[in-house]
C-alpha cells in the first residue's frame, strides 16, 4: 500500500465524465451515464459519481457531483427558502420534514424534470475545486489519503505540472485499503 502513488489509482481524465462549460444539466447527466457505461470495471466495482466541467481550453473549472445534481433540481422559492431559514433555529429534522410535507408544492420535484434539466447550466451548480482538492500524480497514496480525510473530499483532482490528468476517487483509495487489509489477513 505504501508503495502506491496517486497515478497508480487515479482514473485518467479521458475516462471520466466531462462536459464543456455552457452545457445543460441534462447533458451533464448523459455524459455521466455514458462514462459509466464505457468504464472498465475490471479493477474497481465503483461507478463514477461526478462530472467534471471543462472550459474551452480543456481545463477543469468545476465539478458537479450527484449531490450537486439533486441540489440543483430541488425547487427554490420563497416557501422553500423560509423552511431552510427555519432550520437555522435549532429545530429537529423531524419538524423540518413535517413542514416540508405540509408546505411542499403541489407539483413534485420530479414533475417536468426533463424541461428543468434542459434549462439549467452546469456552471450555475458546479462546485469550484478548492486549493486542497488538487494533488500531484507522484504523491504517495498515504499522503493523498490524509488530504481526502481531512478535507472530507470524495475525490481529488490529479495534476502533472500545470496539467490536469485525472481524478483520484475516494472509492478507489478505499478499495486499495480494503485489498491491503485482506492481503494482511491472508499473510497472517
Q: Compare residues 1 and 99 and give the one whose CB is closer to another protein.
A: 99
Count of residues touching another protein (by CB under 8 A): 11
Q: Indicate the Cα dihedral angle 116, 120, 124, 130, nearest 10°.
A: 90
In the complex, the smallest distance separating the C-beta of residue 81 from another protein, rounded to whole angstroms, is 11
How far, CA to CA in Å, does 19 sit from each of 34, 41, 61, 140?
11, 22, 11, 29
Cβ atoms of residues 36 and 47 within 8 Å: yes
Q: Which of 61, 99, 120, 175 binds another protein (CB under 8 A)?
A: 99
* 14 is a site residue for another protein (CB under 8 A): no
Q: Compare residues 57 and 85 and give the one whose CB is closer to another protein.
A: 85
* 41 is a site residue for another protein (CB under 8 A): no
* 77 is a site residue for another protein (CB under 8 A): no
Extract the C-alpha cell encoding 136.
500531484
- What letter does residue 51 receive in the DSSP assignment? E
* 89 is a site residue for another protein (CB under 8 A): yes
Question: Considering only CA atoms, which of 53, 74, 49, 73 is closest in space to residue 62?
Answer: 53
Q: Bridge-partner residues for 60, per DSSP? A: 54
d(CA 100, CA 115): 23
* 183 is a site residue for another protein (CB under 8 A): no
* 187 is a site residue for another protein (CB under 8 A): no
Q: Which of 2, 102, 107, 124 binds another protein (CB under 8 A)?
A: 102
- Which residues sit at the interface with another protein, rule CB under 8 A? 85-86, 88-92, 95, 98-99, 102
Amino acid at each position: 500500500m505504501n508503495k502506491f502513488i496517486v497515478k497508480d489509482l487515479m482514473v485518467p481524465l479521458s475516462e471520466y465524465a466531462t462536459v464543456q462549460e455552457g452545457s445543460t444539466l441534462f447533458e451533464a447527466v448523459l455524459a455521466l451515464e455514458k462514462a459509466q457505461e464505457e468504464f472498465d470495471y475490471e479493477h474497481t466495482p465503483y461507478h463514477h459519481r461526478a462530472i467534471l466541467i471543462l472550459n474551452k481550453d480543456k481545463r477543469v473549472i468545476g465539478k458537479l457531483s450527484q449531490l450537486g445534481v439533486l441540489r440543483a433540481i430541488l425547487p427554490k422559492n420563497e416557501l422553500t427558502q423560509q423552511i431552510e431559514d427555519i432550520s437555522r433555529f435549532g429545530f429537529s429534522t423531524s419538524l423540518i420534514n413535517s413542514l416540508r410535507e405540509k408546505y411542499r408544492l403541489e407539483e413534485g420535484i420530479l414533475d417536468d424534470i426533463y424541461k428543468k434539466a434542459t434549462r439549467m447550466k452546469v456552471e450555475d451548480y458546479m462546485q469550484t475545486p478548492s486549493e486542497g482538492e488538487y494533488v500531484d500524480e507522484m504523491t504517495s497514496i498515504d499522503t493523498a489519503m490524509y488530504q481526502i480525510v481531512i478535507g472530507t473530499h470524495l475525490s481529488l483532482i490529479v495534476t502533472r505540472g500545470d496539467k490536469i490528468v485525472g481524478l483520484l476517487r475516494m472509492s478507489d483509495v478505499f478499495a486499495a485499503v480494503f485489498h491491503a487489509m485482506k492481503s494482511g489477513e491472508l499473510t497472517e
